[in-house]
Structure 1
């Protein structure tokens, strides 16, 4: 039996689909009590049902501070502590420089940066020595990504925040790490492609960038997050772990 997170309390933001849901399932399988957040109640309810009785869903917008506070108020009432935070909620869409809108920039940074800042800040009163924070970055933060500049910049900010927070939280014994996926086959890929008709073409483009010759699976990211969240990574902090099939490495 996998007991790496036995009786730990964990929160996965953006946990109702894709990488977030796969990670929530890995946490449940490792023995954790898991809370997941999402913006769509029906999807959230279905995800919780698939995870079983160790999971609780909380409807929340990752870019709204009031929603973030409400999530931690609930966890505090239920358990009085939080052992693992996986700040995974994110937003992405293509946007060429010449056509960028204020809404595109605001939405991307509200969710991917402001949402991460306050997800971590509001978690701290519940987190003690030995707790773990994992943030979702992206390999595009270190690459020139055509029509993806605002998303890439937001993920570069996440990597920078992790470095600073590693230094800031060291005396509290809280570890902070970043997981940076490469091309991953998630349900959100269809939206990024602009519809199902374009999905196969986008997949081919992405696979062409990966030395391993395929896209990754959400479960492969989840395994890496579980490692960083668990005591097996007790001497690991401040790192960016790329899980990308080599796409950002060679």
Structure 2
């Protein structure tokens, strides 16, 4: 029997990278999974790649109407959920003097507002004893040139988890942050490669991580293996944030 047998999970940003890898491993471990993505073609491809026990719902995590439609779909299909993996996020480099209002709003709308309302709107359909997982980043605690706004957005969701751990304790809902280091994803590939190379050079393990390595940590936080784990930030970073 799989570690998530009979569980229902929602994964935002599930069309590529960490989200897609997590969706695959959750399904392999027995879960029924809802994945979201902004672009229908990529969402359709991801659903086909995942295979059985998955429903794709097109939408933007920063758009509250899209989130309402997501959970209406969930309620119609399964009634309740056990796991929310608020993974949708965006990262862009911008030096301090180059930060614009547009850049700030984009990062915080998706990474902070989107995460907050993804979780808030899940609560009415979430079973007691469930698991909330947020995708953070080592950037929340490591100073990196050009990533201050991104890092600040990830520090904000770290604090969400601290508050939610206390607020949701009576429902026995656990909340944790999963913080990767540099991971070989399409989002990372779209960044300036010289900057990414400098970050990777500071990783003690000497390489980028793979989406599957982060997905396995997400499985731990989603499953009963972490039944006494809440309020933490779990780094999957090759040691980048530990030194």
- TM-score normalised to structure 2 length: 0.98
Q: Using the TM superposition, give the Cα deviation of residue 202 of structure 1 relative to its aligned residue in structure 2, in angstroms.
A: 4.4
The answer on 1:215 being equivalent to 2:214 is: no
Q: Distance in 2 between matches of 1:173 and 1:27?
A: 21
Please tell me whether the aligned partners of residues 91 and 187 of structure 2 are also in contact (alpha carbons under 8 angstroms).
no
Please tell me whether the aligned partners of residues 9 and 33 of structure 1 are also in contact (alpha carbons under 8 angstroms).
yes
Q: Distance in 2 between matches of 1:246 and 1:148?
A: 19
1:102 corresponding residue in structure 2:
101
Runs of 4+ in 1 over 6 A off after TM superposition: none
Give structure 1 stretches of 5+ with no counterpart: 194-198
Please tell me whether the aligned partners of residues 128 and 173 of structure 1 are also in contact (alpha carbons under 8 angstroms).
no
2:46 corresponding residue in structure 1:
47
Please tell me whether the aligned partners of residues 207 and 214 of structure 1 are also in contact (alpha carbons under 8 angstroms).
yes
Q: Distance in 2 between matches of 1:34 and 1:202?
A: 35
Q: Distance in 2 between matches of 1:128 and 1:204?
A: 42
The answer on 1:71 being equivalent to 2:70 is: yes
Please tell me whether the aligned partners of residues 179 and 235 of structure 2 are also in contact (alpha carbons under 8 angstroms).
yes
- TM-score normalised to structure 1 length: 0.95
2:178 corresponding residue in structure 1:
179
Q: Distance in 1 between matches of 2:142 and 2:86?
A: 22
What's the secondary structure of 1:131's corresponding residue? strand
Please tell me whether the aligned partners of residues 182 and 237 of structure 2 are also in contact (alpha carbons under 8 angstroms).
yes
Give structure 2 stretches of 5+ with no counterpart: none
The answer on 1:80 being equivalent to 2:79 is: yes
Figure out how many residues of one structure are paired with residues of the other and give that number.
243
Q: Distance in 2 between matches of 1:241 and 1:53?
A: 29
Q: Distance in 1 between matches of 2:127 and 2:74?
A: 14
The answer on 1:25 being equivalent to 2:24 is: yes
